[in-house]
Amino acid sequence: MYTLSFPTPENLLEHFADAFDDTALAVTSLVNEDGVDQKTIAYFEDAPDRADVTARVALLSQTAGIPTPEISIEEVPQTDWLEHVYRGLHPLELGRFYIYGSHEKEIHPGDRIPLLIDAATAFGSGHHSTTAACLMMLSEYAEKNSPEKMLDLGCGAGTLAMGMAKLFNRKVIAT
Protein backbone atom coordinates (compact mmCIF):
# COMPACT_ATOMS: atom_id res chain seq x y z
CA MET A 1 0.00 0.00 0.00
CA TYR A 2 1.12 3.56 -0.72
CA THR A 3 0.13 7.01 0.46
CA LEU A 4 0.13 10.23 -1.46
CA SER A 5 0.06 13.33 0.71
CA PHE A 6 0.48 17.05 0.24
CA PRO A 7 -0.30 20.22 2.19
CA THR A 8 -3.69 21.67 1.31
CA PRO A 9 -5.42 24.91 2.30
CA GLU A 10 -8.36 24.09 4.58
CA ASN A 11 -10.93 25.64 2.25
CA LEU A 12 -9.71 23.39 -0.61
CA LEU A 13 -9.45 20.04 1.19
CA GLU A 14 -12.60 18.57 -0.37
CA HIS A 15 -11.67 19.97 -3.79
CA PHE A 16 -8.29 18.19 -3.76
CA ALA A 17 -9.67 14.98 -2.22
CA ASP A 18 -12.19 14.63 -5.06
CA ALA A 19 -9.34 14.62 -7.58
CA PHE A 20 -8.29 11.10 -6.58
CA ASP A 21 -11.66 9.40 -6.09
CA ASP A 22 -11.24 7.54 -9.39
CA THR A 23 -7.79 6.06 -8.66
CA ALA A 24 -7.31 5.83 -4.90
CA LEU A 25 -8.64 3.18 -2.51
CA ALA A 26 -9.55 5.96 -0.08
CA VAL A 27 -8.97 9.68 0.28
CA THR A 28 -9.07 11.65 3.50
CA SER A 29 -8.22 15.08 4.80
CA LEU A 30 -6.23 15.76 7.92
CA VAL A 31 -6.71 19.00 9.82
CA ASN A 32 -4.60 19.57 12.92
CA GLU A 33 -6.17 21.31 15.89
CA ASP A 34 -3.93 24.33 15.37
CA GLY A 35 -5.42 24.74 11.88
CA VAL A 36 -1.93 25.12 10.40
CA ASP A 37 -1.00 21.73 8.94
CA GLN A 38 -3.88 20.59 6.75
CA LYS A 39 -3.21 17.94 4.16
CA THR A 40 -4.85 15.60 1.71
CA ILE A 41 -3.94 11.93 2.00
CA ALA A 42 -4.81 9.32 -0.64
CA TYR A 43 -4.22 5.58 -0.25
CA PHE A 44 -3.32 3.37 -3.22
CA GLU A 45 -2.86 -0.38 -3.53
CA ASP A 46 0.09 0.10 -5.90
CA ALA A 47 2.47 3.03 -6.24
CA PRO A 48 0.62 5.86 -7.98
CA ASP A 49 2.10 7.31 -11.16
CA ARG A 50 4.08 10.35 -9.95
CA ALA A 51 3.59 12.24 -13.24
CA ASP A 52 -0.19 11.71 -13.11
CA VAL A 53 -0.64 12.80 -9.48
CA THR A 54 1.71 15.75 -9.95
CA ALA A 55 -0.29 16.88 -12.99
CA ARG A 56 -3.59 16.58 -11.09
CA VAL A 57 -2.31 18.54 -8.10
CA ALA A 58 -0.71 21.18 -10.36
CA LEU A 59 -3.91 21.68 -12.37
CA LEU A 60 -6.06 22.00 -9.25
CA SER A 61 -3.55 24.37 -7.67
CA GLN A 62 -3.49 26.54 -10.78
CA THR A 63 -7.31 26.58 -10.91
CA ALA A 64 -7.43 27.58 -7.23
CA GLY A 65 -4.76 30.24 -7.72
CA ILE A 66 -2.27 28.76 -5.25
CA PRO A 67 1.30 27.49 -5.63
CA THR A 68 1.60 23.78 -6.38
CA PRO A 69 2.41 22.00 -3.11
CA GLU A 70 5.18 19.46 -2.79
CA ILE A 71 3.78 15.94 -2.93
CA SER A 72 5.01 12.92 -1.03
CA ILE A 73 4.53 9.30 -2.07
CA GLU A 74 5.46 6.72 0.55
CA GLU A 75 5.13 2.98 0.86
CA VAL A 76 3.17 1.96 3.96
CA PRO A 77 5.11 -0.73 5.85
CA GLN A 78 3.43 -4.08 6.38
CA THR A 79 2.08 -4.20 9.92
CA ASP A 80 0.56 -7.03 11.93
CA TRP A 81 -2.24 -4.87 13.36
CA LEU A 82 -3.44 -7.49 15.85
CA GLU A 83 0.06 -7.73 17.33
CA HIS A 84 0.34 -3.95 17.30
CA VAL A 85 -2.94 -3.58 19.22
CA TYR A 86 -2.06 -6.35 21.68
CA ARG A 87 1.20 -4.63 22.66
CA GLY A 88 -0.79 -1.66 23.93
CA LEU A 89 -3.39 -3.63 25.86
CA HIS A 90 -2.42 -4.62 29.36
CA PRO A 91 -4.42 -6.58 31.95
CA LEU A 92 -6.98 -4.62 33.95
CA GLU A 93 -8.05 -4.99 37.55
CA LEU A 94 -11.57 -3.59 37.80
CA GLY A 95 -13.38 -4.18 41.04
CA ARG A 96 -13.41 -7.92 41.61
CA PHE A 97 -12.41 -8.64 38.00
CA TYR A 98 -9.08 -9.29 36.28
CA ILE A 99 -9.36 -8.86 32.49
CA TYR A 100 -6.56 -10.13 30.26
CA GLY A 101 -5.91 -11.22 26.66
CA SER A 102 -4.55 -14.53 25.38
CA HIS A 103 -1.35 -12.69 24.43
CA GLU A 104 -0.49 -12.24 28.12
CA LYS A 105 2.31 -14.59 29.16
CA GLU A 106 1.86 -14.28 32.92
CA ILE A 107 -1.55 -14.08 34.54
CA HIS A 108 -1.88 -12.83 38.10
CA PRO A 109 -5.55 -12.51 38.96
CA GLY A 110 -4.92 -12.87 42.71
CA ASP A 111 -8.31 -12.97 44.39
CA ARG A 112 -10.01 -11.47 41.34
CA ILE A 113 -12.35 -13.17 38.88
CA PRO A 114 -10.38 -13.79 35.65
CA LEU A 115 -12.01 -12.84 32.32
CA LEU A 116 -10.15 -13.75 29.14
CA ILE A 117 -11.08 -11.24 26.40
CA ASP A 118 -9.15 -10.80 23.17
CA ALA A 119 -9.87 -7.12 22.73
CA ALA A 120 -8.53 -6.72 19.21
CA THR A 121 -11.45 -8.69 17.84
CA ALA A 122 -14.21 -7.53 20.17
CA PHE A 123 -15.77 -4.46 21.74
CA GLY A 124 -16.22 -4.51 25.49
CA SER A 125 -12.75 -5.44 26.71
CA GLY A 126 -12.89 -3.24 29.78
CA HIS A 127 -10.52 -0.67 28.31
CA HIS A 128 -13.44 1.67 27.56
CA SER A 129 -14.72 3.71 30.48
CA THR A 130 -18.33 2.49 30.19
CA THR A 131 -17.39 -1.19 30.41
CA ALA A 132 -14.95 -0.45 33.23
CA ALA A 133 -17.60 1.50 35.15
CA CYS A 134 -20.16 -1.30 34.75
CA LEU A 135 -17.69 -3.90 36.06
CA MET A 136 -16.87 -1.69 39.05
CA MET A 137 -20.59 -1.19 39.72
CA LEU A 138 -21.24 -4.94 39.48
CA SER A 139 -18.48 -5.56 42.03
CA GLU A 140 -20.10 -3.15 44.48
CA TYR A 141 -23.60 -4.43 43.73
CA ALA A 142 -22.54 -8.03 44.46
CA GLU A 143 -21.58 -7.12 48.02
CA LYS A 144 -25.26 -6.82 49.03
CA ASN A 145 -27.25 -8.33 46.16
CA SER A 146 -27.67 -11.56 44.26
CA PRO A 147 -30.00 -11.15 41.27
CA GLU A 148 -32.04 -14.08 39.98
CA LYS A 149 -32.18 -12.93 36.32
CA MET A 150 -29.58 -10.99 34.38
CA LEU A 151 -29.40 -9.54 30.87
CA ASP A 152 -26.49 -8.09 28.89
CA LEU A 153 -28.34 -6.35 26.07
CA GLY A 154 -26.29 -5.31 23.05
CA CYS A 155 -23.14 -6.99 24.28
CA GLY A 156 -19.94 -6.72 22.26
CA ALA A 157 -17.46 -9.27 23.57
CA GLY A 158 -19.87 -10.39 26.28
CA THR A 159 -17.58 -9.05 28.99
CA LEU A 160 -20.41 -7.95 31.27
CA ALA A 161 -22.34 -11.18 30.70
CA MET A 162 -19.29 -13.30 31.54
CA GLY A 163 -18.55 -11.12 34.54
CA MET A 164 -22.11 -11.46 35.88
CA ALA A 165 -22.18 -15.21 35.25
CA LYS A 166 -18.94 -15.74 37.18
CA LEU A 167 -19.70 -13.21 39.89
CA PHE A 168 -23.21 -14.47 40.71
CA ASN A 169 -22.79 -18.09 39.49
CA ARG A 170 -25.95 -17.86 37.38
CA LYS A 171 -26.99 -17.94 33.75
CA VAL A 172 -27.08 -14.63 31.90
CA ILE A 173 -28.98 -13.79 28.73
CA ALA A 174 -26.69 -11.90 26.35
CA THR A 175 -27.54 -10.51 22.94
Question: Per residue in 129-172, pLDDT tens?
Answer: 888 999 999 999 999 999 999 999 887 788 999 999 999 999 99
Question: Per residue in 43-64, pLDDT tens?
Answer: 999 999 999 999 999 999 999 9
Which numeric CATH code is attached to 2-75? 3.30.70.120
pTM over 0.85: no
Instruction: Give the per-residue pLDDT at 52.
Output: 95
Mean pLDDT estimate for the chain: 88
Return the CATH fold of 83-174: Rossmann fold (3.40.50)
Q: List the domain boundaries for the chain.
A: 2-75, 83-174
Please name the residues in contact with 15: beta carbons below 8 A apart, sequence gap of 6 or more. 60, 64
**How far apart, in whole angstroms, are the C-alpha atoms of residue 49 and residue 52?**
5
SS3 145: coil
Quick check: 40 and 14 in contact, CB under 8 A?
A: no
Quick check: 159 and 115 in contact, CB under 8 A?
A: yes
Instruction: Answer whether residue 71 shows pLDDT above 90.
Output: yes
Quick check: 117 and 81 in contact, CB under 8 A?
A: no
